[in-house]
Amino acid sequence: MTAPSLAIVVLGVGSPALAEAPTPPTVETPVETEPPAPPEETDLEDVVDGEAPAPPPEEEPPGGPGRLPAQPCLPGWIWESTKKYTGRHHKGVGVTQANHNATGRTGRSEFISEVAGEVGISVSGKLKAGASVVLAEIEAEYNVELSAKLTARVGNKYVTKAPPRTTTHARYGVYRLKTAGYNQYVYLNCTKGTKQNATVYSPRYIGWYVWETK
């Protein structure tokens, strides 16, 4: 008996296939029932590691600059994490692909990434601390491994079952950790300025986000 045929619909223009490091074997791609949430943050492109920017003029060191402790603090912006969000926060690279199984039997869906792209740290709010400072704090606070930037490459393949009369959607990209916290300026006399809240999306690993619709 001939197996039912499946039509894979790939949207967008692809690029020549390139080799890519495999997705970590401990990470599985569960099938969701709805597409990933749209981005609510902006990409962070102007974070400079190194010397921290000066605080705004209205934030003069409490007590005055002449009153220093026995061991002055190193002035600069710090980051404190306050919350780690649950859920799966995925940012796609390229367009969503889809495969519809119109038969009454379980088939097979195969997807291949056709667009390469980088995904870096993004933020909702203002982030004034350096990227390395923020990532180090989040990693230490929640015992995770993160990256300042990850590259999703061309040629990564994902294969899954295609349930009868169901459309399987797949989008390649980067999963991120969503955390909340605040920036705060530390002065030479060890006093601290006003807390400035922000939500940070930190790249964690590359993978597919997959969901099904009837």
Residue 146 domain flag: yes
CA distances (Å), origin 4, targets 57, 104, 115: 70, 9, 29
pTM score, whole prediction: 0.76
| CATH code of the domain covering residue 145 | 2.170.15
Beta-bridge mates of residue 43: 122
Domain count, the chain: 1
Residue 30 domain flag: no
Count CB neighbours of 131 within 10 A. Answer: 19
Query: Going residue by residue through the chain (214 aa), what tens digit of pLDDT does each one get?
Result: 444 433 333 333 333 333 344 444 334 577 898 998 887 788 775 444 444 455 555 455 555 555 667 778 989 999 999 999 999 999 999 999 999 999 999 999 999 999 999 999 999 998 999 899 999 999 999 999 999 999 999 999 999 999 999 999 999 999 999 999 999 999 989 999 999 999 999 999 999 999 999 9
Domain membership of residue 207 as a residue range: 71-213
Smallest CA-to-CA distance from 39 within 211, 174, 205 is with 174
Residue 56 domain flag: no
